[in-house]
Chain A
Amino acid sequence: MLHMRIAKRQEPLGLGGSCLVLFLALALSLVLSGILLFLGGTPPLEGLATLFYGAFGSRWALEDSVLKAIPIFLCSLGVAVAFRLKIWNIGAEGQFALGSIGATWVALSFPDWPSFILLPAMIGMAMLAGGVWGLIPAILRQKLRTNEIIVTLMMNYIGILVLDYLVYGVWKDPSSYGFPMTPEFSDNAIVGKIGSSSINWGLLHCVVLGTFIWGFFKFTRLGFELKVSGDNVAAARYAGLPYDRLVILVMVISGALAGWAGFLEASATVNRLQPSIIVGYGYTAIVVAWLARLNPLNIGIASILLAGLRVGVENLQLELQVPAAFGGILEGLILLTVLAGGLFTHYKIERRRME
């Protein structure tokens, strides 16, 4: 009789093997979502083809995927910085909301400032607001050992409701016919598009910030300390590293990056603040960060992939009337299969003959 057994690998799985496992995990999640399409009455192959064509099949689709990848990338970069230190920041969604609020406040208060002052001020306020939203759970965690997973998650709900409160109330555009949205930003407060494409200059922000974070971990002393602290808290404390302060710093950076994403979404994508900018990028960012194993370059690739799936699901909804919630199924399945595939990094499954 054949029997399975799990054994530890001598060496962790190499790059080729890891890619194979990742590929198989993604394939499995696609097969499972195909089955769900079938159960929902959609021909699975046609459905998946529509999904991919909608995501990457035309110039317009590709541009839309890149456009959606921008906020996902920045949120994910922030989440990954926190995960590095084994801080479970689930709060990118709320930090993103606060960032958009901070940027909007500056944009509405000083619409006549020239762009080269107004835009940096908006970014600064967005980072500050997002950073504070990350700081609160960090302080509670370090001072009182309050569980940061739940606090960051609750602050998502609270942050989104703060946004609702503002756009339904004090910030509502009197000429919006009752729609919950602020007036449109002045031209000076808008991040423009690159050439004739629909992609905005936020893409450049992503490249710069991604490189910065990558270099920070690779070349600076502080980045090195963070890496060490994440790998082994006890060793870091023993070596005299200021672990508590590092945690707080990391959560502020994490929140500030998500806040920056909120700034871009308000300024570049919708040119105002409205509740529809909250679409769950903060949660997708967690899927991306884990898929990318927290590496900035991989986060870039995974952001475009997951953003593409979102665009593809929109196409699926349009063409084949598949409910939008299908996107959640895809993201959940991808995260679960990739997570399960992680077993093969350190273990292998052997067959053992039993008598």
Chain B
Amino acid sequence: MTFELLIPLLAAAVQSGTPILYATLGEIFTEKSGVLNLGVEGAMIVGALAGFLVSKFTGSPVLGLLAAGLAGSLATSIHGVVCLWFQGNQVVSGLALTILGAGLANYLGTPYVGLSAPGFSPLALPLLSEIPVLGQIFFNHDPLVYLSYCIPPVMWLFFAKTRFGLNLRAVGEHPAAATAAGINVVSYRWLGILGGGFFMGLGGAYLSLAYTHLWTTNLTGGRGWIAVALVIFAFWRPIRAVYGAYLFGGVMALQLRLQASGTQLPSSLLLMLPYILTVFVLVLSSWKKGSSEEPAALGVNIEPVD
């Protein structure tokens, strides 16, 4: 492949990887508090619809983005109510949230299928976009891509250096010890769930406000599940999530290009690529689990005590 073809492909990889990156970061944030939320797909699609509708009716994509984040938190709050208040099984609750979220978004979004809303457009960053190669790949995108660059380092700092972040991790590692140290375990898990849901909502908004500017059914297409897998690939580290997300973005961009190029390969086989890659990546990461930072109490509910 020639260089002139490779650069646009890599730029497209960053763009297609961005919604997955937001969702993966959201799930890392939630799982660090010890809560397994498999409802990423549901929170994303609810966020995508909320972002689309608010942007359509206010004309402001920024308000839409904010609404998407809040809608993502609202969606995941259902998971919080079921798991934190009612001790429901986290796996099943997350699945239910996926089913409910997809149902809600497709139900409420039916009148708007095929309509468009004002969204975010590419904005070349001055100076940075002039850097040869890298400028084209990384600094010639819409503002949401730039926003996504800031989150992994900030999240890393939050976990490593701040008291809130350390407490959140303590709750995910050893809730009993955290309780003994005077940390309100349930509040921190709420923080994990709602904060994570906010990022998942942003990931959804990226799809309806930047990647496309219109609403279609099943807009998320399994990206939420890929994000759940990428958390494992990333060993629960925000920075590593970036590689994973762009790897998937690359495969999705490649698949779209191959389809558009009129290849002889049937489209159903091309569409399989990201899902096969997900299995492959998971198998690889289960091989090298040594450096993983999986929270010890992940998926385990906190028994209510008097």
Q: Taking beta carbons and an 8 Å cutoff, which residues of A are in contact with B?
A: 5-7, 36, 39-40, 88, 90, 140, 144-147, 149-151, 153-155, 157-158, 161-162, 164-165, 168-169, 283, 286-287, 290, 323, 325-333, 335-336, 339-343, 347
Contacts and interface: CB of A to CB of B under 8 A. Distances in A.
B193 to A, nearest CB: 14
Contacts of B103: 325-332
Nearest to A322: B107
A155 B225 CA distance: 12
A336 B275 contact: no
Interface string B100-128: 11111111101000000000000000000
22 contacts: A40-B108, A140-B282, A150-B229, A151-B282, A154-B229, A154-B275, A157-B272, A161-B268, A283-B95, A286-B92, A290-B92, A323-B106, A326-B103, A327-B103, A328-B99, A328-B100, A328-B104, A329-B104, A329-B107, A330-B103, A336-B96, A342-B89
A3 to B, nearest CB: 12
B54 interface: no
Among B88, B97, B228, B276, find the residue whose CB has the most chain A CB atoms closer than 10 A: B88
A164 B279 CA distance: 20
B87 A347 contact: yes
The 6 A-B pairs at the shortest CB distance, nearest first, are namely: A328-B103, A332-B100, A325-B106, A340-B86, A329-B103, A335-B96
A341 B87 CA distance: 9
Interface stretch (B60-68, B147-155, B283-291): B283-291
Among A158, A336, A347, find the residue whose CB has the most chain B CB atoms closer than 10 A: A336
Contacts of B95: 90, 283, 286, 335
B222 A165 contact: no
B100 A329 contact: yes
A285 to B, nearest CB: 11
A277 B192 CA distance: 39
The SS class assigned to the A binding surface is helix
B82 interface: yes
A146 B283 contact: yes
B99 A149 contact: no
A325 B304 contact: no
Contact of B87 (A164, A165, A343): A343
A161 B276 CA distance: 11
A336 B91 contact: no
B4 interface: no
B87 to A, nearest CB: 5
Contact of B86 (A90, A327, A330, A339): A339
A145 to B, nearest CB: 5
Contacts of B287: 144
Nearest to B305: A6
A36 B104 CA distance: 9
B271 interface: yes
Given A151-B282, A325-B106, 16 more contacts: A90-B95, A140-B283, A146-B282, A154-B275, A157-B222, A161-B275, A169-B266, A328-B100, A331-B99, A332-B101, A335-B96, A336-B96, A336-B97, A339-B82, A340-B82, A341-B86
Interface of B: 38, 42, 78, 81-82, 85-89, 91-93, 95-108, 110, 217, 222, 225, 228-229, 232, 266, 268-269, 271-272, 275-276, 278-279, 282-283, 286-287, 289, 304, 306
B31 to A, nearest CB: 12
B275 A158 contact: yes
B269 A161 contact: yes
Among B99, B101, B102, B266, find the residue whose CB has the most chain A CB atoms closer than 10 A: B99
Contact of A164 (B86, B97, B99, B268): B268
B304 A6 contact: yes
Contacts of A151: 279, 282
Contact of A165 (B217, B268, B306): B268
A328 B102 contact: yes
Contacts of B289: 145
A177 B78 CA distance: 47
B279 A154 contact: yes
Contact of B306 (A5, A162, A332): A5
Contacts of A287: 96, 99
Contacts of A164: 268
A328 B106 contact: yes
Given A323-B106, A323-B110, A340-B82, A332 B229 contact: no
B269 to A, nearest CB: 6
A183 to B, nearest CB: 20
Contact of A342 (B88, B217, B225): B88
Contact of A147 (B99, B222, B282): B282
Contacts of B96: 287, 332, 335-336, 339
B86 A150 contact: no
A140 B95 CA distance: 22
Nearest to B276: A158
Contacts of B275: 154-155, 157-158, 161
B102 A325 contact: yes
A40 B282 contact: no
Given A339-B82, A339-B86, A165 B269 contact: yes
B53 to A, nearest CB: 13
Contacts of B82: 336, 339-340
Contacts of A154: 225, 229, 275-276, 278-279
A97 to B, nearest CB: 12
A69 B82 CA distance: 28
Nearest to A344: B86
Contact of A339 (B89, B106, B269): B89
B87 A150 contact: no
B44 to A, nearest CB: 15
